[in-house]
Amino acid sequence: MAAKAYPIQLEPNPFTQFNISAGFQVGDLLFLSGHVPIDQEGMPVEAGFDEQASLTFENLQRTLQQGGSCLKRVIKVTIYVTNMKLFRPKIMELRQKWFKPPYPADTLVEVSALGHPSRLIEIEAIALREGQIDR
Protein backbone atom coordinates (compact mmCIF):
# COMPACT_ATOMS: atom_id res chain seq x y z
CA MET A 1 0.00 0.00 0.00
CA ALA A 2 1.32 3.44 -0.91
CA ALA A 3 1.89 5.94 1.89
CA LYS A 4 -0.32 9.01 2.11
CA ALA A 5 0.69 12.47 3.31
CA TYR A 6 -1.76 14.80 5.02
CA PRO A 7 -0.97 18.51 5.46
CA ILE A 8 -1.06 19.94 8.99
CA GLN A 9 -3.69 22.67 8.98
CA LEU A 10 -3.13 25.86 11.00
CA GLU A 11 -5.69 28.62 11.50
CA PRO A 12 -4.58 31.26 10.93
CA ASN A 13 -1.87 29.79 8.74
CA PRO A 14 1.24 31.99 8.71
CA PHE A 15 2.86 29.77 6.05
CA THR A 16 0.30 30.49 3.30
CA GLN A 17 2.00 33.67 2.12
CA PHE A 18 5.29 31.77 1.69
CA ASN A 19 3.67 29.04 -0.47
CA ILE A 20 4.78 26.25 1.86
CA SER A 21 3.06 23.86 4.24
CA ALA A 22 3.63 23.95 7.99
CA GLY A 23 4.19 20.22 7.83
CA PHE A 24 2.79 16.83 6.86
CA GLN A 25 1.63 13.72 8.64
CA VAL A 26 2.90 10.54 6.99
CA GLY A 27 1.82 7.48 8.91
CA ASP A 28 2.80 7.94 12.57
CA LEU A 29 5.34 10.66 11.77
CA LEU A 30 5.09 14.44 11.42
CA PHE A 31 7.53 16.27 9.15
CA LEU A 32 7.62 20.00 9.91
CA SER A 33 8.91 22.80 7.71
CA GLY A 34 11.46 25.17 9.11
CA HIS A 35 9.79 27.29 11.79
CA VAL A 36 10.92 30.85 12.34
CA PRO A 37 10.15 33.79 14.64
CA ILE A 38 6.94 35.03 13.01
CA ASP A 39 3.59 35.95 14.49
CA GLN A 40 0.43 34.00 13.65
CA GLU A 41 -0.16 36.20 10.60
CA GLY A 42 3.32 35.42 9.28
CA MET A 43 4.90 38.78 10.07
CA PRO A 44 8.56 38.72 11.15
CA VAL A 45 9.23 39.42 14.80
CA GLU A 46 12.37 41.50 14.99
CA ALA A 47 13.96 40.89 18.38
CA GLY A 48 17.09 39.51 19.99
CA PHE A 49 18.08 35.87 19.74
CA ASP A 50 16.45 34.77 23.00
CA GLU A 51 13.06 36.19 22.04
CA GLN A 52 13.32 34.83 18.51
CA ALA A 53 14.26 31.38 19.78
CA SER A 54 11.37 31.27 22.27
CA LEU A 55 8.87 32.31 19.62
CA THR A 56 10.29 29.77 17.18
CA PHE A 57 9.87 26.94 19.70
CA GLU A 58 6.33 28.17 20.50
CA ASN A 59 5.49 28.12 16.78
CA LEU A 60 6.96 24.63 16.49
CA GLN A 61 4.87 23.46 19.47
CA ARG A 62 1.70 24.97 17.94
CA THR A 63 2.20 23.06 14.69
CA LEU A 64 3.04 19.84 16.54
CA GLN A 65 -0.11 20.14 18.65
CA GLN A 66 -2.23 20.75 15.56
CA GLY A 67 -0.72 17.59 14.07
CA GLY A 68 -1.52 15.57 17.20
CA SER A 69 1.94 15.63 18.78
CA CYS A 70 4.14 17.69 21.09
CA LEU A 71 7.76 18.63 21.73
CA LYS A 72 8.34 15.56 23.92
CA ARG A 73 7.75 13.38 20.82
CA VAL A 74 10.29 15.15 18.60
CA ILE A 75 12.90 12.67 17.37
CA LYS A 76 14.96 14.88 15.01
CA VAL A 77 15.60 18.61 14.66
CA THR A 78 17.72 20.67 12.34
CA ILE A 79 18.50 24.07 13.79
CA TYR A 80 19.85 26.85 11.59
CA VAL A 81 21.54 29.89 13.16
CA THR A 82 23.25 32.88 11.61
CA ASN A 83 26.15 32.99 14.07
CA MET A 84 27.44 29.73 15.53
CA LYS A 85 29.98 31.38 17.84
CA LEU A 86 27.35 33.56 19.53
CA PHE A 87 24.36 31.23 19.49
CA ARG A 88 25.78 27.71 20.05
CA PRO A 89 25.88 28.10 23.86
CA LYS A 90 22.29 29.37 23.79
CA ILE A 91 21.20 26.37 21.69
CA MET A 92 22.62 24.08 24.37
CA GLU A 93 20.41 25.85 26.95
CA LEU A 94 17.38 25.74 24.65
CA ARG A 95 17.73 21.98 24.19
CA GLN A 96 17.51 21.55 27.97
CA LYS A 97 14.59 23.97 28.28
CA TRP A 98 12.38 22.62 25.48
CA PHE A 99 13.35 18.92 25.28
CA LYS A 100 13.89 16.10 27.78
CA PRO A 101 16.45 13.26 27.66
CA PRO A 102 16.94 11.39 25.52
CA TYR A 103 17.26 14.53 23.43
CA PRO A 104 16.23 14.46 19.77
CA ALA A 105 18.76 13.67 17.10
CA ASP A 106 20.04 17.12 16.17
CA THR A 107 21.94 18.93 13.47
CA LEU A 108 23.09 22.50 14.16
CA VAL A 109 24.03 24.49 11.07
CA GLU A 110 25.39 28.01 10.63
CA VAL A 111 24.03 29.81 7.56
CA SER A 112 24.88 33.21 6.14
CA ALA A 113 21.23 34.26 6.03
CA LEU A 114 17.68 32.99 6.57
CA GLY A 115 14.50 33.92 4.66
CA HIS A 116 14.23 37.43 6.18
CA PRO A 117 17.15 39.69 7.15
CA SER A 118 15.96 39.92 10.78
CA ARG A 119 15.88 36.14 11.36
CA LEU A 120 18.55 34.61 13.54
CA ILE A 121 17.14 31.06 13.95
CA GLU A 122 15.06 28.47 12.09
CA ILE A 123 14.10 24.99 13.27
CA GLU A 124 12.66 22.05 11.34
CA ALA A 125 11.56 18.85 13.05
CA ILE A 126 10.39 15.28 12.73
CA ALA A 127 8.14 13.93 15.48
CA LEU A 128 6.11 10.89 16.44
CA ARG A 129 2.41 11.60 16.09
CA GLU A 130 1.40 8.99 18.62
CA GLY A 131 3.29 6.83 21.04
CA GLN A 132 6.25 7.79 23.11
CA ILE A 133 10.01 7.76 23.18
CA ASP A 134 11.57 5.25 25.58
CA ARG A 135 13.07 7.35 28.32
- Sign of the Cα torsion 53, 58, 62, 67 reads positive
Residue range 8-15: mean pLDDT, rounded: 92
Reported as a single tens digit per residue, the pLDDT across 39-98 is 888 899 999 999 999 999 999 999 999 999 999 999 999 999 999 999 999 999 999 999
Beta carbons of 43 and 58 less than 8 angstroms apart: no
Domains of the chain, CATH where assigned = 5-128 (3.30.1330.40)
Q: Which residues pair with 7 in a beta bridge?
A: 24
DSSP conformation letters of 56-102: HHHHHHHHHHHTT--GGGEEEEEEEES-HHHHHHHHHHHHHHH--SS
- pLDDT for residue 1 is more than 80: no
